[in-house]
Structure 1
Amino acid sequence: MGKIIGIDLGTTNSCVAVMDGGEAKVIENAEGDRTTPSIIAYASDGEILVGQPAKRQAVTNPNNTLFAIKRLIGRQFNDDVVQKDIKMVPYKIVKADNGDAWVEINGEKMSPPQISAQTLKKMKKTAEDFLGEPVTEAVVTVPAYFNDAQRQATKDAGRIAGLDVKRIINEPTAAALAYGMDKKAGDSTIAVYDLGGGTFDISIIEIAETDGEHTFEVLSTNGDTFLGGEDFD
């Protein structure tokens, strides 16, 4: 059985990790970085660039350089977030036949899962280069406020990238697990602040212990999907 990788598919940056000796190890990509810009560019010669190479040519190819696709995934075109995004990004966001928000590049319409799959492929390749073996399974984190459509769209992106997404985990729950909150005895309620590159939110999580097993429930979450580290001067 191969390793299952963990992927943080972020609005601004993404990263991939694997359990190594009982601890999660974040893997460096081909550029030597532990995070990869969630940017995909479609060059005039048909080449698809992902991450830092895509970011470097964004100024000269703005209409075909896609970023913050996570804001569109699983959303309808008429969604307020999508309508706000349309006014802020240089690329073309269009309405698909089913009412979803898609992107048009060189006259071709593409769904957000198709585009996000390129970032996931990069994460998959990064892990495979490190492990020296094929990777086919992953756990992917998503914001706690993601609805069923957004979670399914994230799974679809994984499938397109050649990954069987075994589980979708809420980002604040993943943070609580990373800090060992599942090891503490008794029940507790915690606040998790998530300041990302493109978003900032807070979640209140209730951790309940029953016979040594811990369950995590997100009681409430709120934030701003258009405020993050990118917006800080």
Structure 2
Amino acid sequence: EIAGKIYTPQEISAKVLMKLKEDAEAFLGESVVDAVITVPAYFNDAQRKATKEAGTIAGLNVLRIINEPTSAALAYGLDKKDSEKIVVYDLGGGTFDVTVLETGDNVVEVLATGGNAFLGGDDFDNKLIDFLANEFKDETGIDLKNDVMALQRLKEAAENAKKELSSANETEINLPFITADASGPKHLVKKLTRAKFEGMI
């Protein structure tokens, strides 16, 4: 409900698709009518139909709804003539999907798909948040999880550290004035290696 009006999920999705349509038209300099929309591999038939409906509400002629891993395979292998099997890993913020596909002769066939709708980057962030909060509590006796502002700063720092460790072997988490007690302000400064982080997950 927004300003007294109730919106369906399809109407909200349609707003996003309308904006994407407008952006595509501005970039291309021409009208966009037809669309292929990708959805997570775990979407059921009702979710796929709702997504197609959102596209129609947005003014699009939805040609197909395809799995996100299939679209990745299309981008990777459509021009390849030789038949080969590929695995597409899709690790999102809250989900993890694996799809095995066969490509060749301008055809992509999904052989198998599976995943976990409750595993993703957020879980890795939470492991790091727990580690940092526990280390800080061991050092200072203060539980940062009881402080909403400190916890938010921890979440942001954990996500940034995770991203940095994708390309670096070590990062430093530096949160000055994270909290305070009777003795004064407290700072959280912690070096974290990729190996240590990988050991957590």
- What stretches of structure 2 of length at least 5 have no aligned partner? 126-157, 159-201
Structure 2 matches for 1:103-122, cutoff 5 A? 104-122=1-19
Residue 110 of structure 2 aligns with which residue? 217
State the AA in 2 paired with 1:170.
Answer: N
1:193 to 86, 89, 114: 89
Aligned to 1:183, the other structure's residue is in SS state coil
1:205 to 100, 103, 121: 100
2:156 matches 1:156: no
Q: Distance in 2 between matches of 1:154 and 1:205?
A: 24
Aligned to 2:6, the other structure's residue is in SS state strand
- Structure 1 residues 112 and 219: CA distance shift in structure 2, 3 A: same
Greater helix percent: which structure?
A: 2
C-alpha RMSD of the superposition: 2.4
Which has the greater radius of gyration? 2
Following TM superposition, by how much is the alpha carbon of 1:119 offset from its aligned partner in structure 2, in angstroms? Answer: 0.6
Deviations 1:24-82 (A, max 9, x none): xxxxxxxxxxxxxxxxxxxxxxxxxxxxxxxxxxxxxxxxxxxxxxxxxxxxxxxxxxx
Deviations 1:95-121 (A, max 9, x none): xxxxxxxxx334432210100111101
**Is the CA contact (8 Å cut-off) linking 1:203 and 1:218 kept in structure 2?**
no
Deviations 1:168-211 (A, max 9, x none): 111001111212266151342x3211123x333122323165xx
State the AA in 2 paired with 1:223.
Answer: N
**Is the CA contact (8 Å cut-off) linking 2:14 and 2:54 kept in structure 1?**
yes
Q: TM-score, normalised by structure 1?
A: 0.48
Following TM superposition, by how much is the alpha carbon of 1:229 offset from its aligned partner in structure 2, in angstroms? Answer: 5.8
Following TM superposition, by how much is the alpha carbon of 1:226 offset from its aligned partner in structure 2, in angstroms? Answer: 6.2
1:132 to 6, 12, 29: 29
Q: TM-score, normalised by structure 2?
A: 0.55
Structure 2 matches for 1:60-99, cutoff 5 A? none
Percent identity reads: 51
State the AA in 1 paired with 2:23.
Answer: T
2:68 to 155, 168, 171: 171
Aligned length: 126
Q: Distance in 2 between matches of 1:201 and 1:167?
A: 23
Following TM superposition, by how much is the alpha carbon of 1:132 offset from its aligned partner in structure 2, in angstroms? Answer: 1.6
**Is the CA contact (8 Å cut-off) linking 1:176 and 1:182 kept in structure 2?**
no
